[in-house]
Structure 1
Amino acid sequence: MQVRVHATGSTGNCVSISNGHITILVDVGLPKTKIEKILLEDGIDPTKIHSIWITHEHEDHCKGVAFADKYKIPVYASEGTLKALNRLDTGRIVKDGKSQCFDAFSPKHLFVTPFNVSHDAFEPLGFAIQGADGKVSVMMDTGIVTPDMLRAMANSTVYVFECNHDEDMLMNGEYNEALKRRILATTGHLSNDAAAVALSRLIKGTGERIMLTHMSSSNNMPGLAAAAVKRALKKNGLKANVHYTLEVF
């Protein structure tokens, strides 16, 4: 399974997952022309994209959804997200735990299974994408990681994981108190430490690939995020580049 983070952060998010036969996008949070440009630069033909999956309706995850209209690409999301985007008539509704299967009887089959996350949006989702040669879990904005979320993501070969902020940087930073409370809420964003704890429960040391995303430019640093995850996994006897790989975006 090829996974590429084309954009991430508060300015826009877009991830592609491909098994060499089917290519899907999770989120299109940049203007449609930028989405098109980035994909072409990364060697992805927009006309070959099978479907787009939207985690929730916040602009940094769906701003470029008109890209789907230009190329007639189906858009999948929860009912709440599609309603917020005024796309109930044209989008395809998906629900927690209900897999969508593509090319089921082909060696290049793909199953996409949505799971609920905890964010201040209408029915936000994460996605677990299972192919014949691996499983990719994409978890964008969430304030907590629940046991149900852990079960949905279990046994993935690739984890695209929110690692938004360092709590000390956030609390001592310039954000106003209301915004700090929103970020720290259970429906806010995942801290480095919370992401590290969740990953310590998921990573088994079988060579999994961890991709840390959606990092705040004001309240985090790549080194802090990576260090938090490595510390948590080290407690389980796991070392980076031996038992797993870690990338920070």
Structure 2
Amino acid sequence: MKIDILASGSKGNSIAISSFTTTILIDAGIAKKEIEKRLLEVGIRPDSINAIFITHAHGDHIKGLPLANKYKIPVYASEGEWKSIKGVDTELKQIMTGNQLINSFDVTAFDVHHDAFQPLGYAVVDEVGDKVCICLDTGKVDRQMIETMKYSDFFIIESNHEPAMLEYSSYQNSVKARVLSDIGHLSNEQTAEALSKLVKGRGEKIYLTHLSSKNNLPELAKMTTIRALSKKGFKEGEHYEIEVF
């Protein structure tokens, strides 16, 4: 399984997941031309995309959906999120429920907690049994999410903010309250706690994504997770790998 983080953060999110026979996108949150450019940079032809899966319909996750119309790519999103997604050709619209087989990929949707109609995370298993879980915008990680994400080889999860930095930021109080709520975004500590329940020290690869440019630092996000995993006896580079976007 090959994973390429094409974009991550409040300005746009898009992830390409590829195997021998299949390539899908999780979200298309940057301009169509930029997605095309970044796909080519990592060796993926835009016309080879088999499907696009949308986590939720905020602009930083769907801005580039005109890509679907250009290349006739099916777009999967929850029934609730289709209320907010416009401009996708009717024949390409697919409602995501449960499992979906896309060539060699088995894609499972799971509920997350964000201020959207029906936001989703995704678990993807390829033809050799490798598993990646994608958990982007969510205010908390519940038991069912942990159950679905267990036994993954790759974890793509947001580590959005450091609460102290957010508290002293210039954000309005209403925005701070939204970010900190159960339908907001994960803090570094929340992400670290979730990963400490998920990582088994068998060489998993962690991708920390969707960091706030104002209320977080890449090294801070990384070290928070490293500290949590060290308490379980796991060492970076020996038991797991970690990368920050």
TM-score bracket, normalised by the shorter chain, equals: over 0.9
* SS state at 2:5 partner: strand
Q: 2:210 aligns with which of 214, 226, 245?
A: 214
Superposition pairs for residues 138-149 of structure 1, below 5 Å? 138-149=134-145
The equivalent of 1:94 in structure 2 is 96
The equivalent of 1:4 in structure 2 is 4
The equivalent of 2:45 in structure 1 is 45
Task: Count how many residue pairs are aligned between Structure 1 and Structure 2.
Answer: 242
Say if 1:208 and 1:244, in contact at 8 Å, map to a contact too.
Answer: yes
Give the TM-score, by structure 2 length. Answer: 0.96
Letter in 2 for 1:35: I
State the distance in 2 between where 1:241 and 1:28 align: 31
Letter in 2 for 1:127: Y
- Between 44-53 and 79-88, report the one with greater CA deviation: 79-88
State the distance in 2 between where 1:208 and 1:248 align: 14
Say if 2:47 and 2:71, in contact at 8 Å, map to a contact too.
Answer: yes
The equivalent of 1:178 in structure 2 is 174
State the distance in 2 between where 1:101 and 1:240 align: 34
What are the superposed Cα offsets for residues 78-134 of structure 1, whole Å, 9 maximum, x if unpaired?
001112114594410012xx111234xxxxx21000000000001000000011240
Distance 1:199 1:60, change over 3 A: same
The equivalent of 1:21 in structure 2 is 21
Report whether the alignment pairs 1:205 with 2:201: yes
Letter in 2 for 1:182: R
Letter in 1 for 2:48: K
What are the superposed Cα offsets for residues 15-48 of structure 1, whole Å, 9 maximum, x if unpaired?
0111121000000001111111111122110111
Unaligned runs of 5+ in 2: none
- Between 127-136 and 217-226, report the one with greater CA deviation: 127-136
Letter in 1 for 2:202: T
State the distance in 1 between where 2:67 and 2:117 align: 22
Report whether the alignment pairs 1:134 with 2:130: yes
Percent pairwise identity: 47
Unaligned runs of 5+ in 1: 104-108
Letter in 2 for 1:156: S
What are the superposed Cα offsets for residues 43-100 of structure 1, whole Å, 9 maximum, x if unpaired?
11011110000000000000111111000000001001112114594410012xx111
